[in-house]
Amino acid sequence: MGKVAVGATVVCAAAVCAAAVFIVRRRMQSSGKWARVIEILKVLEEDCATPIAKLRQVADAMTVEMHAGLASEGGSKLKMLISYVDNLPSGDEHGFFYALDLGGTNFRVMRVLLGGKQDRVVKQEFEEVSIPPHLMTGGSDELFNFIAEALAKFVATEGEDFHLPAGRQRELGFTFSFPVRQTSLSSGTLIKWTKGFSIEDTVGQDVVGELIKAMERVGLDMNVTALVNDTVGTLAGGRYYNPDVVAAVILGTGTNAAYVERAHAIPKWHGLLPKSGEMVINMEWGNFRSSHLPLTEYDHSLDFESLNPGEQILEKIISGMYLGEILRRVLLKMAEEAAFFGDSVPPKLRIPFIIRTPNMSAMHSDTSPDLKVVGSKLKDILEVPTTSLKMRKVVISLCNIIASRGARLSAAGIYGILKKLGRETPKDGETQKSVIAMDGGLFEHYTQFSECMESSLKELLGDEASESVEVIHSNDGSGVGAALLAASHSQYLEDSETS
């Protein structure tokens, strides 16, 4: 009996010892894994760093590329497209004008009644129409017939307020947010479809011509006065309400910028200089790249696996389409190399783009003591049932690093535009204001992003110069802006000026 007891004690002691060794080993492993988590975090932080000196280099590189893109076609990664908009709205516009905004799976038709400086936009009405999927991959005539029919139906609902003077044709501004080679203010050939559209017989055709033919087929008499992209529309909408607006930036799913350039500073412009002396340039700045951009291993792999490798590099590190995806890639590395979510990698974490930027924004904005929103988002999106506070704090840090880099680089881009215009430093005795009109869901809804962008721009400008630079939200520029451009380039402008 005694022997057995002794033996049992020995076995028990050995088991306790083995268990203790196992626990110590687990702790060492888990502390080793946690150290790897912190290491991945630190490397990301270093690779994404945007000290003020680097931002100045990025801004200078942006200015250099702007000059090169204005000098010759294909001379720069920045296309610096001539928009043919040389007469931005002033607020004096009267009458009523239509807009058509086609940029995705829905399009909008809109009419706007303008009452001059006193009344501005007196009334606006719009309708949103979904495009049936089969028309997105069918024939050009079918798509444009569908759009023209919807426009004709909308015109038929004109109320008493929208009165057209005798002998006048209705005028329309057309926002078309696909790659176009503009040939005049009211014509441009489609370079390629994007966003799920694939209609071969439209490529290389004048999209305004296609729309006019469709309108004629449905018996609608309307003149297309202006073909613009959404960024130029935002600039027009901003300028209409504020004469100091010099540039527009869209920070949404994608990103772009447009600004007002002095016509004589565009060497590749071979036409007559416009009366206004100005020309709006559509930069297509999403395609900017420079050795000064702080790129990480995650950016390189994302770009390599994308549909357009080597293109849109700036867009891939600052826009809403990609920020959540960068976060997913870092979390995947932590899960694979440091068992961040436990012994197995959550299967959902392997799905590209499963973490959308609005989810990242919601987590980044979480101020609850136990970071409850972070926990619930990880559970809902990645099906990770439980996460510790320590893990949630890491996720917040990742959001902060990725969003701050994007916001600070956006600020550097804006600073580059201001430098190109000579508006980055205060002029002696001058009180010129420079206003940047912003639009897009990323700017509007991701508060940490927009606040960081604005504070970084102030940091670049310095206290004195930042007094004369203002960032404003110009909502729905792409719709109203097109109608305003139809007004400011109206064929009846001289009639109304002389009457």
Give strand ranges (E) for 208-296.
Answer: 222-228, 245-251, 255-262, 278-282
Which residue type occupies 152? A
| CB within 8 Å of 260: residues ≥ 6 apart | 88, 235, 246, 247, 278, 279, 280, 281
Residue 51 is encoded by which pair of tokens? 């000290």
Residue 203, number of CB atoms within 10 A of its CB = 13
Catalytic center residues:
195, 230
Spatial separation of the C-alpha atoms in residues 215 and 222, rounded to whole Å? 8
Rg (CA), the chain: 28
**Pairwise CA distance, residues 76 & 133, whole Å:** 36
Neighbouring-strand partners of residue 173: 99, 226
CB 44 within 8 A of CB 296: yes
Biggest CA-to-CA distance, the chain: 121
Which is it for the CA torsion 183, 185, 189, 192, positive or negative?
A: positive
**DSSP 8-state assignment for residue 206:** B
Cα distances (angstroms) measured from residue 180 to each of 295, 346, 466? 29, 42, 35
Tokens describing residue 291: 């050795």
**405 close to 50: Cβ distance less than 8 angstroms:** yes
What six digits make up the tokens of 71? 């000098």
Distance CA(177)–CA(194), nearest Å, equals 9
Residue type present at position 466? S
Of 487, 457, 461, 484, which Cα lies nearest the Cα of 472?
Answer: 457
Among candidate residues 138, 46, 17, 60, the one with its CA nearest the CA of residue 419: 60
Q: Beta strand 278-282 with 81-82: parallel, antiparallel or unpaired?
A: antiparallel
Say which DSSP state 133 is in.
Answer: G
Tokens for 331?
A: 């979390």
Both tokens of residue 111? 């009419």
Task: Tell me the one-letter amino acid at 138.
Answer: G
